């Protein structure tokens, strides 16, 4: 368990303030971010929410996993990191594009 949550299957229209508002119903939110593509500026459909305590994070998973946010059923789980993994531009499975 971690106090950092990964939030997946977000609508491309979901903003940080909406994540914060939804998760704050179940505990104290320290930070909420939506991950954006650096080139296009569009949402990549996932984000991270840091809660004040592991108990708050667990409550969010229990109450929000599988629920609807902006017409999408979101998945909420503990995260190992609080940000997306770095991209590897021009490479896919070891092959250069």
Query: Considering the domain boundaries, does residue 96 fall inside one?
Result: no
DSSP H/E element including 35: strand 29-36
Look at residue 60 in the predicted model and tell me its pLDDT.
Answer: 98
Q: Is 63 helix (H, G, I), strand (E, B) or coil?
A: helix
Q: Is pLDDT of 44 > 70?
A: yes
Question: Residue 66 is part of a domain; what is its CATH number?
Answer: 3.30.70.330
pTM of the predicted protein model: 0.84
Q: Is pLDDT of 91 > 60?
A: no
Query: Considering the domain boundaries, does residue 85 fall inside one?
Result: no
CB 34 within 8 A of CB 47: yes
Number of domains in the chain: 1
Q: Is pLDDT of 70 > 60?
A: yes
Domain of residue 34, residue span = 4-77
Query: Considering the domain boundaries, does residue 57 fall inside one?
Result: yes
């Amino acid at each position: 368990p971690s106090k950092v949550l990964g939030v997946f299957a977000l609508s491309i229209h979901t903003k940080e303030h909406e994540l914060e508002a939804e998760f704050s119903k179940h505990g104290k939110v320290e930070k909420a971010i939506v991950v954006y593509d650096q080139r296009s500026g569009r949402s990549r459909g996932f984000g991270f929410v840091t809660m004040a305590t592991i108990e708050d994070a667990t409550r969010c998973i229990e109450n929000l996993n599988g629920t609807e946010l902006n017409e999408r059923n979101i998945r909420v789980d503990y995260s190992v990191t609080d940000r997306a993994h770095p991209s590897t531009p021009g490479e896919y499975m070891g092959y250069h594009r």
